Structure 1
């Protein structure tokens, strides 16, 4: 597989540079122009920042269930700078992971079809066998949440536990492990699902919606701080 990846990249580079189109222009043009059809289900998630305590139980559960190697992570919980004055100091915690975009830029630029959106669930996933390690999807993702798995040598990211917990009829590992119930998962196409109801009941925001990616990771903003769009 190493040899085939090398040959592929050499050929791809030759095509790009002989046509006079830079890699950045190629990615930029395809990222926001294409659109994708929705399937019968659209799995999404809400991270309630008002309930998150930054314990990182979710990251550890994700690593264990999905056998994520040390040194890389499918999701991160990031802590803000201190807010308020001593002794009334507070922190904001936010989730950084794949947004499972309805219009996913990573899938538009993948030359082998390794990056794709599952037509049945709307989950953006990676076929490690098809991945040639070109890195186009890493560069195209505006959320910078993809990485190369040091064991499979393929692009990797959160897949909502599609191949593990979801396959067994469970919720994603992060949702099951959260002690404060800060994570809610479900079908956005179902108006009666918990995730759909939560989005209706609470103020939510999504990251970088102006790019047209239509992310399916919603966040309930912490009481303090700016709501980002």
Structure 2
């Protein structure tokens, strides 16, 4: 029997226009109220767990990659970060976090944040209570894709094949 392939969030850099809708959706989803208007006045202020950075002339959505050998899990001395053996998602056990920030210091992507007012590390949980992560749902250009690796590669191949066929038709018609 084949193992179930897990879904991941893939980034399509060529589609990101830097609107930051993903950041806002993430912060609202992780707020107490789950409402944009109410979240704006919450204390503590909701934090985003995804960041759109500008680098080399491109917008780059930076999100936890839930690394296979996650350094944040390895360095967490209290067991506040654990990796689900079935999904591969790195999850935070809130009551175990002491706010030492070791996970934030070692993250190679700089996406583990800090809630200093409650001394707690925060990171992407892929919106575990939703079928589709909020950031992916909010992205107006499809720059964020929630799929298995197989689904994503198939989508990319089909798009490349269509693009090649269009270009060949244009050259033949010229």
TM class by shorter chain equals 0.7 to 0.9
In structure 2, list runs of 5 or more residues that go unmatched. Answer: 33-43, 161-174
- Asked if 1:76 is matched to 2:40, the reply is no
In structure 1, list runs of 5 or more residues that go unmatched. Answer: 1-38, 82-90, 204-229
- The question of whether the paired residues in 2 share the 8 Å contact of 1:41 and 1:120 is answered with no
Structure 2: distance between partners of 1:141 and 1:78: 16
Q: What secondary structure is seen at the aligned counterpart in 2 of 1:93?
A: strand
Q: What secondary structure is seen at the aligned counterpart in 2 of 1:94?
A: strand
- Asked if 1:109 is matched to 2:114, the reply is no
Q: How far did 1:135 drift?
A: 1.9
- The question of whether the paired residues in 1 share the 8 Å contact of 2:28 and 2:46 is answered with no
Match for residue 154 of structure 2 among 168, 192, 197: 197
- The question of whether the paired residues in 2 share the 8 Å contact of 1:147 and 1:156 is answered with yes
The match for 1:131 is 97
Specify whether residues 120 and 200 from structure 1 end up closer, same or farther in structure 2 by C-alpha distance, changes over 3 A only.
farther
Cα root mean square deviation, aligned: 2.5
Match for residue 144 of structure 2 among 168, 171, 183: 183
The match for 2:11 is 47
* Aligned 1:94-105 pairs, distance under 5 A: 94-105=60-71
* Higher relative helix content: 2
Specify whether residues 153 and 200 from structure 1 end up closer, same or farther in structure 2 by C-alpha distance, changes over 3 A only.
farther
* Aligned 1:12-23 pairs, distance under 5 A: none
